[in-house]
Structures are given as structure tokens and as C-alpha cells.
Structure 1
Amino acid sequence: MNRTNEAFGWVSGAVWLGLLMIALWAVVWVVRYLRATPMERRSIRLAVRIRWGWKRLAPLVGLSVTDKMPTVMASLTSGDKVMKPRVLVPTLKVVPDEFGVIVRASCLPQVGLKEFQKAAPYLADAWRMTRVSVLPDKPGQVLIRGVRVDPLTTSTTHTPTGQPPQKVALWDLGLDEFGMPVSVPLSEVPGVTMAGLPGFGKTSAVNRLICDWAPSPTVQFNVFDGKVSHAYEGDYADLVERLFAFVGDDLEAANKELKRLVELRRARSASQKQIRGVKNFWHAGPTEDWPLIVTIIDEAHTYFRDYKGSDQQTKRLAALAAENARLVEDLTKKGRALGFLTLIITQKTTGDAIPTFIRDVCPVGLSFAQKTADAAVAALGDDIRQWPEANPVTLQDAAYVGVAVMNAQGRPGFVRIRTPFVADEHAARITAETAHLTRDPGQLLERLTGQGLVDLAKALPEAA
């Protein structure tokens, strides 16, 4: 009798423990649901519906396999009965977020990546998604991304943290069309081109880069803005105190500053091995004394324009523009291993706006909305013709302000990205907090070597 009571007590305790665990799980789930945003709550409900309906849906969309071989336990207990074949479906792990769900599914024999990709349109219809994407994940698993609302038409904002970036030269651009974050590594990159119609988000994307990188003393910025004449005007007015140099639309002033940058490039080339012990800047990385130099040339066509005319003034401007192009070519072709990163921004990256000998050595290219197919090809290459759904010509609607197109990293095709808006007050705040970090890289090098840039540059042969 005592043993019976003891066994009953153990069973009763196990039942109560199980009920307690279920109650705790329910409380956690309810708290999580109540703290979620309205959009996240919709995704949570959708995730529950996906889990409950998966065993029925999977065979309907061709994501199941029939196993005619009974398990060992079934064979031992079936006796002489004929066992029915089992229908196996992939197991799922569903995680909801603001835009939809991220699903990790296991593969089965004859149900792999290709089968999931083929079923993606049917899953989108069944789950009431705007679009569904399937990509390889871990070995034996696929990653399914489904979005309820289109991230490309959902405006977003970015609030800079004011903290130094965790990884140097990583440009966080925004969210792709599946709501996944997109980052572009810019280490070992000599140049970036950015194109797009006025008012569609080019400058805001650059502002985010400056605001995110400005808290690091290992990065220094200078800006050429062809839209304005003075630093207190235009899009970079709130950031000017974090720039070691600023040039407006004066071609002569731009020429002078570009010459100084090329002189600095040559001086670094002459002294980098001796001072840092490396030939490539990125082998040691940026430091406060030897920072990454980010040069932003906005409205670049201002500085490269091909002036036509026979009068003295036109000839002078034509000569300045031609030399400006040659100097920027020097920075993009020879500056990568010396810590120079050049961002060239214009409305159209056609040859008359950015000379092809500059554009073609910049491996990273982005394009916001474009008016013509030729402009899209100039910005992204001829392959964009094969991906009409990603062509920036389709982004001219006001709903796509802030949406850019670029080559997909590590896979064929192109990706569309919703870049967030950075408010002027945030740019001003970051500048106020980080202005004390601004240093002129030329002066830093002169202090390190005890020599002037001209003297250092003379140590190199002319070919350098």
C-alpha cells in the first residue's frame, strides 16, 4: 500500500511539474505577445498558423516523401498486419519578426533546396505572404524567408548610436526586399559609385555611413560637394565639423585639394612599409595615427565635366576638369592598399558624368531610381538587363524613395535595399559628439615622420 501511495505521489508530482512548465511557457508567450508591436503580433499569429498547418500543407505543395519501410518498433508490434507507408514532412523552426517569418526547415531524401524553391510561390499563397525566398542554410537545412508586407515600400529611419562600429569599414545599408539586413564590407575596396535621380536617397545613405563611422578616430572624412559653394550650405552642413576638408563647386579649389590627397597617397606609399611594417594598409588596419581616408565626391559631374569652347575661361575649366579626373583616377587605382576609399556620387554614372577609367575600377556600385535603361546599365553593368524585376527604372514611384539596387553579395543577380532616413538632428548630434576626433591625415603623417608630404613623395619614382 505504501509503495502504491509512493508511486501515486511521484506521478502526481510529475503531472503538477508538467502543468507548471506549461503555465510558465504560456506566461512567457503571453508577455512576449503583449510587448510586441502590432506588426510583430500579426507575425506571431502567422507563425502559429504555419506550425499547426504544416503537416497538411507540405504534401500539397510537394514537400513530403513516402517511406514504405516500417520502423523497428512498428515491425515488432504489428504482427501479421500490413503496415501503411508513412508520409514524412520536413521539420520546421519558425521565428516571427516585424515583416514576417524566418523558417528553418530540414531536408529529406528527394526534398531539398530545389524542391523548396519550386514550392516557394505556393507557400507564399498559402501563408498569405507578399513574397517567399528560399536559400541554403546549414548542411541539410534551408532558410525560408517570408514577408507579409513589402519592406521596400515601408519607410524606415536610423538613429545612430554614437558608438564606434564593431567592425571597421562595414557599411550597413539597410534591409533587403525580404527584410534581412544588408551590409557591404568596404575594406580592400578602392571605390564605390552611387547613382540615382535627385531626391531618391543618395545623400541620406552616405550620411548614415558618416554617422555610423564618425565615432571611430581611425576614420577621417573629406567631402567634395558639387551642389553648393560653401560648407554651411547643402546636405553636409551638419557634418562639416567632422570633415578634415570640404570643397564646394569651385573647380580650382577641388583641384588643389585633390592634388594634396594624391600627394598624401604618394607620401604614404613611400613611408608605409618603414613605419607600419606592411605593404598593404589592410594587413594592419586603420589606427588613429594612420586612419582610413574616406573621400566623398558628391555631384561628381561638376568636377569632371567636359567643357566645350575656345575662349580662355572655358579652356581653363576644361583643363581643371581633365586634371581632376586624372587625380581621382590616381586615388581609385593606387589608393586601396594605402587606406583610401573614394565614394563617387552622381545622378547618372555614364561616361560623361564619371569617366569610365574611374568608374570601371570601382567594384561596388549602387543605383537608386533611374529614368532610363542606359543609366541603369551604366550604374550596375549590362547584367541588369537580365534581371528586369530589380532594374532601378522601376523605382521611380515616390514609394521607393530610399530604395537602391546593387549586386547581390556572394550569389548571382541583384538585390534591392531599403535604406533608412537619417534625420538632420541626428547628424548634428553625432558631429557635436565626435568633432574632437577630426584630424588631418596629412598632418598626422608629417608628425609621424618629421617630414613634409612633398619631401616624402619625392622618395618615390614618378611611376608611383
Structure 2
Amino acid sequence: MEAITGYASYALPIATALVGVWLVWTAVRYVRADKGTRVSMRQAVRVRWGWVRLARMAGLTVTDKTPSLLAQITAQKDSPPPSPRVLTPKIKVKPDQYGVTVQARTLPQVGLEEYQKSARFLSDAWRCTRVSVLPDGPGKVVIRGVRSDPLTTPTRHRPTGRPPADLTRWELGVDEYAAKVCVSLANVPGVTVAGVPGAGKTSGVNKFVCDFAPSPAVQIATADGKVSRASEGDYADLVKRMFAFCGDDLDEANALFKRLVELRKRRSATIRDVLGVKNMWHIGPSPQWPLTVLIIDEAHTFFREYKGNDATTKRLAALTAENARLVEDLVKKGRSVGILVILISQKTTGDAIPTFIRDVCPIGLSFAQKTVEAAVAALGEDIRNWPDASPVTLQDPAYVGVAVMAMQGRPGYTRIRTPYVADANAARVADATSHLTADPDLCLDALLRATGRTATPPAALTKQP
């Protein structure tokens, strides 16, 4: 007894010290957090304290009539049976800027479906704008409650200036539950971006350029149909990090597309001998064999069908037809050799981007649209079945910078808030990384010399389809 008393005299100060440390740590976190996170931290406390009562009212508990082992052992022979136990799922709550994330256990007769049916009750009780329930492994669900709508909360992105850890990962922004949305670029030949003017198309692509510019394993070329020269328009601050740029001149665009098709042919002819693989994505991009990205903004400028019998119109019609054929070559044959085409247009209907190009691009994003037909052209016929996610609903100024896309592994369509990149930050990144700009053709020449080959065999090029 004396020994137990002696230990007890130490236990109380230790327990008090631990509680004090926890309180100080919590207070420091609260003070250092931003305003939104502080509100979420208070919300998380309410969620924890009110969970048992709320779970019972929402039907997320189970009555267990079987006595516990301890009750069976201590029960007297003639005593009445113990009262049934009400089991409540255990939860863990994590606050963030937008709301709370709750990890909950499942119970017999209280599974994923029951949580999803109770989502609207949880949303009201937790004072959330919306609540989602998704599986989180065997016997677990994750409940995401957002207090403020991430889609109507403008965000800014300040590029770090450091190379991305994974060149196959494109971080687009956050979805309507403030979860990060990323898409894989591996084995992707093309991306289409649609939306009315001023909806955020170019800003989203600017973020892509700023994030990938610090890597010498990425080289970018641009054809911008909105401007006549590099010093104009949305890419003026980024042109230093581009190995090629042209404006709305059809002849210059045609020359650029031909240049990249010849690069595609040379890479196709030499990839096995130089890299030892048939698909560049098996080993990933490198400074010697960089991922080559072609951005075509206002793509309809370069593919427009000209109609007329005069010589000038016929020449322009021939140029745009050849442009379409050249870009089709890049999209259909450039995937395995590391060429990615990003096509941007207000509408991605067949008259703006030929369907034989558009329909080969596996990733499609659409910012705000005015008509359902434009939304269908950008995202596919299935968008008619998801009217709440249609880009037609994004015409409010609060949704500038919000896009819709179909995500692999998710039903329906996902709405994404893309962040805004200030012009000053874009210029800073371009200046700091301009020395990394290199012509992929010259990179291939250097790689061929390093492997003992001085040129691409002519016969190999002529055999390309």
C-alpha cells in the first residue's frame, strides 16, 4: 500500500504536466492559425463533444443486447440481465481552413450507406455548407464537412521556384470539399481547356507553366491566337521560359507545328536505341529527353475553315487544314515519345477544334459555358446527366477560376477551384528559370552524339506512317 501511495504522489504531477503541455501546444496552434482555421478548430471541439448525442439522433448507433465479457463474469446467479449497450462509432476530427474532416468507424448495420443518408443531418448540426461521405478503407469512412464554399473563395498561388517532385503530377487546385485535385500526365497525349472569355482558362495554364518551369526536363512552346507578337498577351511574362513562340500568324504557326512533327518523327525513330524503351514514360522525362509541351491558345484561330474561291482564302484554308493534320499527328503519335499538346479555346466544338483531335485528348476541362451544347462538346454527352455540375452553372463572377472535369475513380464530374498566379510571380519564375530553356531538337542531337550516333537514319524517318 505504501508503494502504491508513493507512485500515486508522482502520477498526479506527471499527469498535470502532460495536460499543461497539451493545453499550451493547442493554444500555440490556435494563435498561429489563420482566421478560418481558428473557426474550424472551435467547430471541431463542438463536433467531438456533441458526437454521441448527434449519432443517436441521426440513427448512427447500434443497440447491443449481448452482455459484455466483464458483465458476464460479475453477474450474480439470480440478478436480472444487464441492460443493452448502445454502441457509438468512434471518430477523429481534424480542422482546416475550410471546415473539418472526420474519420469514423463503421458498426454492424451502420456502414457507408447509413452515413451517406445522414449527411444532410450532419451538415445542419455542424453548420456546414455541404458534407460528403466516402469510404476510407475497411471498416472506416471519412466525412468531409466544409463550412465555407471553396469554389467561391478565390485563392492565389505563389510558385516556389523549385522543380516539382513528380513530373507526372499536375496539381489543378481544390474541389468543392477543399481536397487537392491532381491529374496524371503520364501517357497523356493531349488536354483540352474550354470556357468563355475571362473564365480563368489562361490563368490555369499559367500555373502549369510556373510549376513546371523550374525543371530542365520540361520544355514548352506556345502558339497564342490572341496576339501578334510575344510581348503581348497573357504569356508575355513567361515567354523567356519557352523555346518557341508564335502569335496568330498562320504561317508561323504552321512552321512551329511542322518543327514539332519532325521532332516527333526523330524521337520515334531513335527512342529504342537511345532510351532502351518503347515508351518514354517507362523511365520518365529527363533534361536530355524533356517532356515537350505545346500550348495552343485560342486554338480555333489555327484550325478555322476558310470558305471562298479567291487565292488568299484558298491559301489560308490550305494552311489551317495542314495545321489540323500536323496537330493530329502530335496528339495521336506523340504520347509515347513525350509530347503533350494543351489546346485552349472558348468552345471545343468541332468547328473550333476538329473532333479527330479533340476526341483523342483524354483530359478535358471546362470553365464557365453559356450553352449546354458547349458543355457537352467540352466534357462529353454524360454531362447532361449531371446538371448540378454543368459549367453552365458557373457564369456567376464568383466562379471565375472554377472548372469542371471528369476524374478517374470518381462518379460524375468534379468542380475545381484553380488558383490565380499574379503576373509578378509569373515573371519572377520565368526570369529565374530562363537559363533552363533548351530546344528539344538540340537536346536530341546531343543525346545521339553521346550514344555514338550523329544523325537519325533517313530510312527510319521515311518508314514512319
- 1:230 is paired with a residue of what secondary structure? coil
TM-score (norm 1): 0.97
Q: TM-score, normalised by structure 2?
A: 0.97
Any conservation in 1 of the 2:89–2:104 contact (CA below 8 Å)? yes
AA in 2 matched with 1:167? D
Deviation at 1:452, TM superposition (A): 8.3
> How far off its partner does 1:60 sit?
1.1
User: What code does the residue aligned with 1:429 have?
Assistant: R
Contact 1:266 1:457 in 2 (8 A): no
Counterpart in 2 of 1:415? 414
Structure 1 residue 22, shift from structure 2 partner: 1.1
Q: 2:186 — aligned with what?
A: 187
User: Which of residues 39, 45, 48 in structure 1 aligns to 2:45?
Assistant: 48
The equivalent of 2:240 in structure 1 is 241
Distance 1:7 1:336 in 2: 72
Q: Deviations along 1:53-76, whole A, 9 cap, x unmatched?
A: 000011211211110001010122
Say which SS state the counterpart of residue 337 (structure 1) adopts: coil
Aligned pairs for 1:327-342 within 5 A: 327-342=326-341
> Structure 1 residue 69 and structure 2 residue 40: aligned?
no
Cα distance in 1 for partners of 2:340, 2:16 equals 60
- Displacement of 1:458 in angstroms is 4.6
Match of 1:393 in 2: 392
Aligned to 2:204: 205
Deviation at 1:350, TM superposition (A): 0.2
The CA distance in 2 between the partners of 1:260 and 1:190, in whole Å, is 17
Q: What is the identity, as a one-letter code, of the residue corresponding to 2:5?
A: F
Task: Indicate if the aligned counterparts of 1:329 and 1:358 stay in contact, CA closer than 8 A.
Answer: yes
Counterpart residue number, 1:432: 431
C-alpha separation between the residues in 2 aligned to 1:452 and 1:200? 48
Q: Distance in 2 between matches of 1:352 and 1:414?
A: 25
For residues 79-101 of structure 1, give each alpha carbon's deviation from its aligned partner in whole angstroms, at most 9, with x where no partner exists. Answer: 21221111111100000000000
Distance 1:126 1:168 in 2: 42
Deviation at 1:254, TM superposition (A): 0.6
State how far apart, in whole Å, the 1-side matches of 2:175 and 2:58 are.
Answer: 26
For each residue in 1:117-138, what CA deviation from the matched residue of structure 2 results, as whole angstroms up to 9, or x when unmatched?
A: 1111111011110000011112
2:152 is aligned to 153
Question: 1:124 and 1:421 mapped to 2: Cα distance?
Answer: 29
Q: Determine which of 8, 11, 16 is the counterpart of 1:14.
A: 11
| Aligned alpha-carbon RMSD (Å) | 1.3
Say whether 1:29 aligns with 2:26: yes
Consecutive unaligned residues of structure 1, counting only runs of 5 or more, are none
Cα 1:457–1:381 shift into 2, 3 Å:
farther
Residue 459 (structure 1) aligned with residue 460 (structure 2): yes
Q: Secondary structure at the match of 2:237?
A: helix
Deviations 1:194-237 (A, max 9, x none): 00011111111101111000100000000000000100100000
Deviation above 4 Å: which 4+ runs of structure 1? 450-453, 455-458
1:105 aligns with 2:113: no
- Alpha-carbon deviation of 1:448? 2.7
Aligned length: 460
**What SS does the aligned partner of 2:336 have?**
helix
Identify if the C-alpha distance between structure 1 residues 281 and 179 changes in structure 2 by more than 3 Å, giving closer, same or farther.
same
Secondary structure of 1:143's counterpart equals strand
Code of the aligned partner of 1:460: L
CA–CA distance in structure 2, aligned partners of residues 64 and 378 of structure 1:
47
Indicate the residue corresponding to 1:78 in structure 2.
75
Kindly state the Cα deviation for residue 462 of structure 1 after the two structures are TM-superposed: 4.5
Structure 2 matches for 1:23-422, cutoff 5 A?
Answer: 23-79=20-76, 80-422=79-421
* Superposition deviation, residue 456 in structure 1: 4.5
CA offsets 1:317-342 (integer angstroms, 9 cap, x no match): 00000000000000000000010010
Deviation at 1:457, TM superposition (A): 5.7
Q: Offset at 1:408?
A: 2.2
Alpha-carbon deviation of 1:23? 1.2
Partners of 1:350 and 1:183 in 2: CA distance: 26
8 A contact 1:270–1:457 mirrored in 2: no
Residues 285 and 407 of structure 1: CA distance in aligned 2, closer, same or farther (over 3 Å): same
Paired AA for residue 231 in structure 1: A
Measured in 1, the distance between the counterparts of 2:444 and 2:20 equals: 65
The runs of 5 or more residues in structure 2 that have no matched partner are none
CA distance 1:16–1:430, shift in 2 (3 Å): same
Query: In percent, how many aligned pairs have the same letter?
Result: 61
SS state at 2:461 partner: coil
> In the alignment, is the contact (CA less than 8 A) between 2:265 and 2:464 conserved in 1?
no
1:410 counterpart letter in structure 2: G
Give the Cα separation in 2 of the matches to 1:329 and 1:178: 37
One-letter identity of the residue aligned with 2:40: S
Structure 1: distance between partners of 2:167 and 2:130? 33
| Cα distance in 1, alignment partners of residues 50 and 212 from structure 2 | 46
Q: Which residue identity is paired with 1:363? A: P
